[in-house]
């Protein structure tokens, strides 16, 4: 299993979880690239997130390191 876990969802709901898991990645950049690719494949504009959200979790430090609130990509 790789260090960074990426999650993405089209709408916010309080019980987000493994259904929104995109995959595990070696770098933060790889995680963000996959999040952007999925976001664009869904027909969204890169700069418009609306109710969509993402998270990147560090499995070694066991902390969330990126999210759509703090880091709009």
Cα distance from N-terminal residue to C-terminal residue, the chain: 25
- Using DSSP bridges, classify how beta strands 21-25 and 4-9 pair: parallel, antiparallel or unpaired: antiparallel
What is the band of 72 on the pLDDT scale with cuts at 50, 70, 90? low
Convert the pLDDT of each residue in 3-56 to its tens digit.
999 999 887 665 667 889 999 999 999 999 999 999 999 888 877 888 888 999
> Residue 63 above 90 pLDDT?
yes
> Residue 64 above 70 pLDDT?
yes
How far, in whole angstroms, is CA 66 from its chain's centroid?
Answer: 8
DSSP class of residue 20 equals: G
Give CA torsion, residues 17, 63, 52, 7, to 10 deg.
-50
> Residue 65 above 70 pLDDT?
yes
């Amino acid at each position: 299993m790789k260090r960074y876990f990426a999650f993405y969802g089209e709408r916010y709901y309080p019980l987000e979880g493994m259904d929104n898991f995109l995959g595990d990645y070696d770098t933060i950049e790889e995680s963000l690239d996959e999040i952007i690719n999925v976001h664009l494949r869904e027909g969204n504009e890169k700069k418009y997130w609306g109710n969509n959200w993402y998270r990147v979790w560090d499995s070694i430090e066991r902390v969330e390191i990126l999210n759509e609130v703090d880091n709009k990509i």
